[in-house]
Amino acid sequence: MDSAGARDACVIIGGGLAGLTAALSLAPKPAILLSKAPLGLEAASTLAQGGIAASLGPGDDLELHLADTLKAGDGLCDEEVARAILGSAPAAIEDLIKRGVAFDRDTKGALALGLEAAHSRRRILHAGGDSSGREIMRALTRLVRQTPSITVLEGATAEQLLIDGNCVTGVFAASNRGPMLFETACVVIATGGIGGLFQYSTNPAGSFGQGLALAAKAGALLADLEFIQFHPTALDGASFPLKLVSESVRGEGAILANETGERFMADVPGGELAPRDIVARAVWQQMAAGHRVFLDARNILGLDFPRRFPAIAGFCQAEGIDPVTQPIPVRPAVHYHMGGIAVDLAGRSSVEGLWACGEAACTGLHGANRLASNSLLEAAVCGQFVAESIKGTTRSVRRKGVRCDTNTTPSSDPVPVQKILSHAAGVLRNREILQAAAAELLPVALGRGKARDPALVGLMIVIAALRRQESRGAHTRTDFPCPAAHAERSFLRLDAAIAAARAIALETAA
């Protein structure tokens, strides 16, 4: 095994927007960036279409953006955190522009602002039309490669954190150059989302919560795991990940209808632009009743679809659908995880020396449901916050008693978990199916097979979903259909999840 540690370097796991921002903001402090795939590939950041939210337009301000965020979060946002992150949006946009991101502009040269679901103002900055993430990642990847303080290791997958007491002392990674061990007192997890744990998802297949497993196994506290946002309008085609037909298409006026032409969102407040969980449930219920669902953008006055949405037009064409003349078949798919590694505003987890940012982290910004386009913003802002926090910290590696399970499985396979989790933790949940999933996942999570880490994360999600005996935001329990009078954020450690699952398994067997 190589000991690849530059001991004063910070190790950043994941090269999406959050990881790249953290690395750039840390400079000139040295950082080693581990990325499973070549930078830009296999990152949800690259797939983002709609854009990034910031209250920059006329008639808009922080209070309005905050109000929309809190409303979407359905009573569980941390208001102080939300105010700090949303208030940092203008500076984050400025930084992205300085780093070379070319946001779209109107004919007068001002930043063009789009509208998305549940935003009360036009505040979505986009780039390359609907290729916002690609453009942001293009600029940042280029800059990262030119920054001497950043060592990029592509093809390196973090498998385990080294822990001494409650302190991080290193990272063990599998790589195409063989196993690698990094001694470091400072690790940032920026591994993105969990969609790859499910059968239908818009996330890259490699996004299956490896960072959550790393943190959970190190004893870190995880938060709000039960809150998973389903995008209501993924293209119901043959590709995986499912292609996303962005909210912006509905923002421009596209309508949802089933195969009989019934516009089933017509009487729902907000219509097609109601919060995502409401739209996802409506589409799910249509499909459960045997209907097919379509997004119809054919009759939008003045919309040049291929010009405004070139990427969407392209992948629709690849599936044989022309959105100018045909309705687009859609279905709900796992899109975003509000939960993650519990962190404070500086990105610090409950384990000393372990920070997290981006989708893998849970700051409390999103509460029970994410407001569209707040996640790229959170990745950009919190990547910066994490770097500032690390710069203000002096930690050194303690050598004694380092715990490293080098029998760790060389690669993870989420496939055995996908069916169980999709059935139990989908758009609609109940006690019976969640308990059955916990009993089924437990032996996999305790085993030594390749599905162990995905099963650990799946198990924690299922236990969190069981414990929340109410329906709120993106979490819908058919056996508890109403929101509780009083609700709080949820926090969970791996040992508590395993103990709960053992009790369920015993109860089920009895």
- The site for ligand FAD (CB under 6 A) is made up of 13-19, 34-37, 42-45, 47-52, 132-133, 157-158, 190-192, 202-203, 206-207, 210-211, 244, 336, 358-360, 373-376, 379
Residue 475 CB, shortest distance to ligand FAD, in Å, is 18
Comparison of 198 and 264: residue with beta carbon closer to ligand FAD: 198
Catalytic hit among 121, 134, 276, 370: 276
Comparison of 89 and 433: residue with beta carbon closer to ligand FAD: 89
Task: Give the 3-state secondary structure percentages of the chain, helix then strand then coil, rounded to 5.
Answer: 35, 20, 45
Residue 211 CB, shortest distance to ligand FAD, in Å, is 6
Count Cβ atoms below 10 Å from residue 226 Cβ, excluding itself.
26
Burial class (CB in 10 A: 0-12, 13-18, 19+), 503: exposed
Beta-ladder partners of 182: 171
Comparison of 76 and 190: residue with beta carbon closer to ligand FAD: 190
Handedness of CA 467, 471, 475, 478 (dihedral sign): positive
Comparison of 365 and 492: residue with beta carbon closer to ligand FAD: 365
Residue 394 CB, shortest distance to ligand FAD, in Å, is 26
Comparison of 308 and 477: residue with beta carbon closer to ligand FAD: 308
Q: 3 to each of 173, 181, 354, how far by Cα in Å?
A: 10, 5, 20
Residue 508 CB, shortest distance to ligand FAD, in Å, is 32
* DSSP class of 472: B
- Which of 19, 337, 47 lies closest to 209 in space, CA to CA? 337
Comparison of 51 and 364: residue with beta carbon closer to ligand FAD: 51
* DSSP class of 112: P
Residue 272 CB, shortest distance to ligand FAD, in Å, is 17
Structure tokens at 413: 């396979």
Q: How far apart are CA 73 and CA 79, in angstroms?
A: 10
Going through 268-327 in order, the beta strands assigned E by DSSP cover: 293-296
Q: How far apart are CA 283 and CA 332, in angstroms?
A: 7
Comparison of 242 and 442: residue with beta carbon closer to ligand FAD: 242
Structure tokens at 187: 């690790």
**Residue count of the chain:** 510
- Which of 301, 283, 292, 307 lies closest to 230 in space, CA to CA? 283
Helix (H) or strand (E) holding 263: none
Count Cβ atoms below 10 Å from residue 489 Cβ, excluding itself.
17
Q: Is 276 labeled as catalytic in the residue annotation?
A: yes
Under 8 Å between Cβ of 277 and 283:
no
Rounded to the nearest 10 degrees, the angle between the axes of helix 89-98 and helix 132-146 is 60
Residue 230 CB, shortest distance to ligand FAD, in Å, is 12
Structure tokens at 137: 């990642």
Residue 22 CB, shortest distance to ligand FAD, in Å, is 9
Annotate 121-189 with three-state secondary structure: CCCEECCCCCCHHHHHHHHHHHHHHHCCCEEEEECEEEEEEEEECCEEEEEEEEECCCCEEEECCCEEE
- Does 28 sit behind a cis peptide bond, omega within 30 degrees of 0 on the bond before it? yes
Comparison of 78 and 453: residue with beta carbon closer to ligand FAD: 453
**Residues tagged active-site:** 276
